[in-house]
Structure 1
């Protein structure tokens, strides 16, 4: 089997959930001896990538890649869509002479936009599946500015999905969005969760101590729910001794002063991050919109209980066995969940921590995700291209 993987950047060169997913997808398909033609990019001004890092010699035998420069067309409203269309044109020019080689084209975001346009005009090509990950533009926005940004994206996202052969979903509410808000029938949806690599698995769960340690991991964005976290911390302060740790770049204006609040800043070293996360008890992820967050997968693989909002495909990861699932934007529910964690017995917290680790081992390792992806793609019949 040979697939073309189109993405707007790849880890470790570009940091982001989509880029990390693209890296793991390419890596684990190659591990299974699937040929991958990878089309990716770097921002304007950065050097093109010649040799891919993070892959073994055996994996690289099955990966051929083409790195492009993502267009930069200013900062006026709509610039991202114009840049995405231009980037899809660049990919189209590169891939057009090779179309007959592929069994499937796996496209992240808008990367297949031009291909789909040509397909509509009659150009024969392999089946195309698009993945917009969390479809956040159809989720509840945290601000008026976010609502306007969503409005710009919705129509082209719908067009790309409706003109593709398949649409990938992480499951949970993401599948509901694709069917109900994007208008894609169930038979066109391929439901495959995100995954995590085995190296993230902790050998054993670090049992909770006398003081519960909460942690938030991520950069500051309004949709990540840091304002709600701050309000919840202030509400439960003094009720019971606890610590709350923030990992990521948080603006000074959003930082609290109490001594039990610790700001670690951004930690880019993955090994250092892993060693730190396992020392905590409860991951807090109150996002207004998400897909299937890497941070929750990493927290669960590290043996943490989870408090998270029921957005995207989060409900596939978090339930009453390993944490607390709450409504987005609801600071009262967040305060209640944190209070319940504080008043729970050590054994109850430890059972939730252990359940997180078990769930990851059973369902969300990349070896299993890759096998499921290959199984689904093999069911798709490739049309004859002449």
Structure 2
């Protein structure tokens, strides 16, 4: 079987269970049909006052880190917020290369374009093997300054690029002048054993949700770009008009304190559920306990939580960004413009007022992580063959 070194900074960790769940699922399924070793590299900041990440929950991942169904090696590399941004890819590669060399891969597959895709590309070049880089969303869409320049270098230098939606593929071609023949769209799947319709009444009893609540659920990181301020504004409007409307915020992030302050200021403390970060099974339970899932992001690649919600038979209100249009239509939810709290409130009210066929919504979803792994392996095998032919 093909030997694949999978490199990523995004996997579920104890302090952020929702991070990189889709990469975990891909790695686990890919490991069934190839020999895969996952290299989990994370940037480590020095223990100085005021030094912390601004957009994600920061914590230390130890060498004893394990991941269900995966052969994983975790390690850190040093850096500073903003100051080392332009060289983080070089530093990461310095620590990555000897580890990957010991594995002796046929190919390096990285998820997250910069700095991790760059580090993987340099490591692959040092070992004389090809490199495939998977882009997930904001690592293509939200790039400026040195990040944009380094992202361009990865797109130009990788042997192939994977995108999670056709919209993202077209954006990459147009914005970064990428060669269309080396970009492959592989959309995400979902765990069909976990995300499926469940008994809402029983779940509400279990989770402490009242049976008459009209519950909206959000699942994801608590960061500005997920549209959480717009969500809080829209929810406040709905909650003031209808005492039965509630909101569950499933996840965690750097905005948690701000969100809790907004809730206290609105006087709606008793109308918000805070389950925290959840395992996939926990996410599925909260989605099934709700009436509608919302994702008011400013930018997305192919939002997996939208797929998971539909697989549970729940309609979705989401912003029309990235590949979301490839999932949502008038039969399963409502698309709205980003950064528009008024339209978000209107759409949520519309969806809450309608009857939805849970099982019809779920029946339309069938793509598995094994499908994703099969397509990913196919691209990797093509790249390895082409690489070998060019060097004969």
Same fold, TM-score > 0.5, yes or no:
yes
Structure 1 residue 53 corresponds to structure 2 residue 61: no
Structure 1 residue 178 corresponds to structure 2 residue 172: yes
Aligned to 1:196: 190
Return the match for 2:157 from 147, 155, 163.
163
Secondary structure at 1:54's aligned position in 2? coil
Structure 1 residue 40 corresponds to structure 2 residue 40: yes
Contact 2:138–2:301 (CA under 8 A) maintained in structure 1: yes
Return the match for 1:90 from 74, 95, 114.
95
Contact 2:17–2:277 (CA under 8 A) maintained in structure 1: no
Structure 1 residue 359 corresponds to structure 2 residue 364: yes
Q: Residues 115 and 223 from structure 1, CA distance in 2 versus in 1: closer, same or farther, beyond 3 angstroms?
A: closer
Contact 2:7–2:109 (CA under 8 A) maintained in structure 1: yes
Q: CA RMSD in A?
A: 3.1
TM-score after normalising by structure 1: 0.80
* Post-superposition CA distance 1:78-119 (Å, at most 9, x none): 4344334311222123334665x40x3211223242454577
Return the match for 2:109 from 106, 110, 114.
106
Secondary structure at 1:368's aligned position in 2? helix
Contact 2:11–2:40 (CA under 8 A) maintained in structure 1: yes
Return the alpha-carbon distance in structure 1 between the equivalents of residues 276 and 303 of structure 2: 17
Return the alpha-carbon distance in structure 1 between the equivalents of residues 61 and 86 of structure 2: 23
Contact 1:129–1:165 (CA under 8 A) maintained in structure 2: yes
Aligned to 2:382: 379
Aligned to 2:137: 134
Aligned to 1:253: 261
Contact 2:213–2:246 (CA under 8 A) maintained in structure 1: no
Secondary structure at 2:387's aligned position in 1? coil
CA drift at 1:19: 3.0
Flag structure 1 segments of 5+ consecutive residues without an equivalent.
140-148
Return the alpha-carbon distance in structure 1 between the equivalents of residues 246 and 166 of structure 2: 29
CA drift at 1:172: 3.6
Secondary structure at 1:174's aligned position in 2? helix
Return the alpha-carbon distance in structure 2 between the equivalents of residues 281 and 5 of structure 1: 37
Q: Residues 259 and 97 from structure 1, CA distance in 2 versus in 1: closer, same or farther, beyond 3 angstroms?
A: closer
Structure 1 residue 10 corresponds to structure 2 residue 15: no
Return the alpha-carbon distance in structure 1 between the equivalents of residues 17 and 166 of structure 2: 21
Secondary structure at 1:328's aligned position in 2? coil
Return the match for 1:370 from 350, 373, 380.
373
Contact 1:138–1:154 (CA under 8 A) maintained in structure 2: no
Aligned to 1:227: 229
Contact 1:214–1:281 (CA under 8 A) maintained in structure 2: yes
Contact 1:213–1:244 (CA under 8 A) maintained in structure 2: yes
Runs (4+) off by over 6 Å? none
CA drift at 1:320: 1.4
Return the match for 2:73 from 66, 73, 82.
66
CA drift at 1:318: 1.7
Return the alpha-carbon distance in structure 2 between the equivalents of residues 119 and 206 of structure 1: 49
Return the alpha-carbon distance in structure 2 between the equivalents of residues 269 and 118 of structure 1: 33
Secondary structure at 1:130's aligned position in 2? strand
Flag structure 2 segments of 5+ consecutive residues without an equivalent.
45-58, 202-210
Alignment coverage as a number of residue pairs: 356
Q: Residues 236 and 8 from structure 1, CA distance in 2 versus in 1: closer, same or farther, beyond 3 angstroms?
A: closer
Aligned to 1:320: 330
Return the alpha-carbon distance in structure 2 between the equivalents of residues 285 and 97 of structure 1: 42
Return the alpha-carbon distance in structure 2 between the equivalents of residues 230 and 93 of structure 1: 47
